[in-house]
Chains A and B, each alone.
Chain A
Amino acid sequence: MITERQEELATLHALGLLEDAEQRALAGELAGNAELAALITLLDDTAVQLTLAAPTVVPPAGLKNRILEACTEPGRSAAAAPAEAPVVGFPLWRIAPWAMAAALMIAATWLASHNLSLQSENDALRTERKLAEIAYQAAQAQLKERSLLAEGMINDLGHQLHEQQDLTRLKVTALASLAGNTPEAQAIAVWDPSRETGLLTVDKLPAVRENQDYQLWVVDPAYPNPVDGGVFKPGADGHVVLTFKGNKPIKSVAAFAISLEKKGGVPKAEGPIVLLGKVPPI
């Protein structure tokens, strides 16, 4: 009795379609199954006959001669097989010492070869280890270098961020002529609340007499009177750049003012205010 599965394996075999697992399965099914073996034979014959289903095409005329010319060597035949060599008797004991010597020689050669092989392998492993160490050190150095670079970059970024934060904290004010007594003068005051210091830049401020000074005032609502920010004298071109600081702690700045005072300044503004600028609330 042949099952459908066996038939399937047999047909796939006939067409050369069996996969490895199926090949093994068929071999297993074949064990002691003569009926299946006969079926396989028949199906193989059937499959070969499909050759004749190919459309008939006549081989090119020159092919036959080409094949015949290529067959220059005679075919292998049983008759052409070399004759068996005559058997010559040879007592075994005669070759025993030679055999032992040969065996020892082979063993010694093998051991020497094996030793050389192990040495070579050992050298190779050492070299490999050295190379690995070098690679490790190089990797470590590279890592350290990258770490430093990264640290520097982080610091730079921190500085930049800090500076940006500082900039946002700074209060910038343009001072304008209050009474038209210095119409062309231009002044800008920058105040850093965290450091309680400022930078004043003035242009085209009229020159003053020898016994006079301009005095800068910081208006802080915490005090009844403006806080003294120091005195200064512009150059011939009316240009002044100076850093200033209040003579009292400044909590908040509402405005900056510049007055014309007697030389050396006064504790409380007395002279005319020439420039004034209010600090805009944030």
Chain B
Amino acid sequence: MLLVSVLSLGFCGLCAPRGDTSRTGRVTMGNASQPSDDNRHAAQRALLAAMARGERNALAGLYDQLAGPLYSLAFRMLGDNGEAQDLVQDIFLQVWRSAATYESGRGSVFSWMATLTRNRAIDRIRMRKRRGELLGNAAPELQPSALGGEEDSAGSLWLREKSAAVRSALAELAPDQRQAIELAYFSGLTQQEIAAKLSEPLGTIKARIRRGLLRLKDRLPARL
């Protein structure tokens, strides 16, 4: 999985810089939100720089901004509160220790941490002996006490808007494409395992993922 992590983060070192503005064919969420996104990214980079200097307040600030979506991702993938907490704690500690190594050219702070979280969650999933049990709970019922309760801060509003946009774009996909993509992203299954789980040929699964993700690319903003 480390390999996957490295590839996910490092492979794009071969790719075009993320700051490239020459992207075409993509529907944005409106020009009005763009400056806000840029400011947010700049603020998060500043927090990381402060963390690299050992400022714990910066860590607290970054936690306030990103712990929600990262915890939600971890919980969605692992289906377990305790494991999700451990995972998020590990991620923030890792970022605290390696804040100085962050390179803004390789994506936003959120993308970096989300990728770390997902890869680490996949590691945990694959280490589990009780994979079958986990798959049965891949979409756990949300605990009422854990739902809602977000403060209506600017950060949470921003996250809500972004989340709504992603969910909306996902909902527009054909159900079979959405199912394949969700399984691929949240369950940590391999191609073959997804094909087996959906009782479809491998080629069909690959085609569904290709069409679905390309469509999502056209529906979502270039950069979170």
Contact = CB atoms under 8 A, between A and B. Distances in A.
A63 B67 contact: yes
Given A41-B18, A42-B23, A55-B142, A16 B119 contact: yes
Given A14-B213, A16-B119, A71 B56 contact: yes
Nearest to A44: B12
A8 interface: yes
B16 A41 contact: yes
A17 B206 CA distance: 10
Interface of A: 4, 7-8, 11-19, 23, 30, 34, 37-38, 40-60, 63-64, 66-68, 70-71, 73-80
A45 B107 contact: yes
B20 A38 contact: yes
B217 A43 contact: yes
Interface in B12-38: 12, 14-16, 18, 20, 22-23, 26
Given A4-B210, A7-B214, A46-B216, A77 B56 contact: no
A45 B111 contact: yes
B206 A58 contact: no
Interface string B94-113: 00111111000001001100
Nearest to A23: B7
Given A47-B213, A54-B72, A80 B54 contact: yes
Nearest to B150: A58
A80 B210 CA distance: 45
A202 B67 CA distance: 111
Nearest to B192: A19
B122 A16 contact: yes
B100 A75 contact: yes
B154 interface: no
Contacts of A19: 190-191
A75 B69 contact: no
The 10 A-B pairs with the shortest beta carbon distances in the complex, nearest first, are A74-B54, A54-B76, A77-B52, A59-B71, A52-B163, A37-B15, A41-B15, A15-B184, A11-B213, A51-B114
B147 A56 contact: yes
Among A8, A12, A58: residue with most chain B CB under 10 A: A58
A11 B118 contact: no
A60 B146 CA distance: 8
B68 A46 contact: no
A49 B220 contact: yes
A15 B88 contact: no
B181 A52 contact: no
B136 interface: no
Given A7-B214, A40-B15, A15 B209 contact: yes
Nearest to A56: B72
B115 interface: yes
B85 interface: yes
Interface in B179-224: 181-182, 184-186, 190-191, 206-207, 209-210, 213-214, 216-217, 220-224
B166 A50 contact: yes
A44 B8 contact: yes
A45 B18 contact: yes
Contacts of B157: none
Contact of B99 (A23, A43, A56, A76): A76
A121 B221 CA distance: 66
Contacts of A63: 67, 71, 85, 88-89
Contact of B185 (A8, A47, A57): A47
B147 to A, nearest CB: 7
Contacts of B23: 38, 42
Given A46-B220, A60-B85, A75 B16 contact: no
Contacts of A79: 53
A17 B191 contact: yes
B71 A57 contact: yes
A27 to B, nearest CB: 8
B67 A37 contact: no
B147 A71 contact: no
